[in-house]
Amino acid sequence: MANGRDNKLTGHIAEHLVCAELGRRGILATPFSGNVPTFDLLAADENCRAVPIQVKATTSDNWRTDASRWMDLRVDRRSQRQIYGGPTMLDAAEMIYVMVALGAREPEAIPDRFFVLTRRELQAAYVSSYTAFMERQSWLRPRSPKSFDCRVTVSDLSCYEDRWSLVVEQTSSTPKPVSGKQKVAPQPTSENRSKTGVKRS
């Protein structure tokens, strides 16, 4: 079982791999090593237009989450069945997520894989996966009725693989930052004060 150090290392590797892939496409990116709670790295084009990106890594073929983060769920006290109330409202629904499936070097080389999508699209994938699973269980988890364990797999996200164009599209649609020196309004002199009728205080 992976420990905290292994999980941290896996996350760091994934973030730097994403930065490298973006660099190959002419986009400068830098990771923040978990120091920013809302995103993992910042990507910018040659015009300094930047977008935040979340990176989620796995060493298996799926990404685990708590389903209640993405959908409205509650457990009926009597039946212990879960009740689905629809997807939750998202903040920053268009934020980019890069889901990284880390490959292996031994015993057989397996390449790293990248799946690029928005938070809204990731939510739809989690909702689809969880509701399909729970419907097969008649919305009752026999071992742990209150468990909201949810996963999406590589196959669930296959249509988003290597969709780096999403990052390019979002950076190009971001307004350019203001550059150059800003003009400062001239301060009134004693001469133009007398012309405009402005008196000294």
b/e 58-78 (16+ beta carbons within 10 angstroms → b) = beeebbebebeebbebebeee
**Do the strands 96-101 and 50-58 form a parallel or antiparallel pair, or are they unpaired?**
parallel
Which helix (H) or strand (E) element contains residue 50? strand 50-58
Is the whole-model pTM more than 0.95?
A: no
Ranges of the chain with pLDDT below 70: 1-3, 106, 178-201
The 10s digit of each residue's pLDDT in 158-177 is: 999 999 999 999 998 888 77
* Furthest CA-CA distance within the chain: 87
pLDDT at 161: 98
Residue 189 has phi, psi (to 5 degrees) of: -95, 175
HSE toward the beta carbon, residue 113, CA cutoff 13 A? 20
Q: Where are the alpha helices (DSSP H) in the chain?
A: 4-24, 119-136, 165-173, 190-196
pLDDT at 201: 41
Q: In Å, what is the CA distance from 77 to each residue of 73, 83, 130, 145?
A: 13, 11, 21, 10
